[in-house]
Amino acid sequence: MNIDKLVFAIAGTFILASVILSQLHSTYWLLFTGFVGLNMLQAAFTGFCPLAKILKRFGVRSGCALN
């Protein structure tokens, strides 16, 4: 699995988990959902993704979108 696919998988997992936690525990978890969405939006325009940089340090091979 390359960095691009892994970033989408992790972001999707974070969003689903925070929406579920907002329903079960506290609506403040929706702030985390907003943070993940905002980070994905800025990565689409700038090409910079902090998670991609972390994954690259762990040796995950690069994809075409995020380096």
**What distance lies between CA 25 and its chain's CA centroid?**
22
- pTM assigned to the model: 0.85
Spatial distance between the Cα atoms of 27 and 16, rounded to a whole number of angstroms: 14
Return the pLDDT at 5.
Answer: 92
- Chain segment 8-63, per-residue pLDDT in tens: 999 999 999 999 999 999 999 999 999 999 999 999 999 899 999 999 999 999 87
pLDDT of residue 59: 93
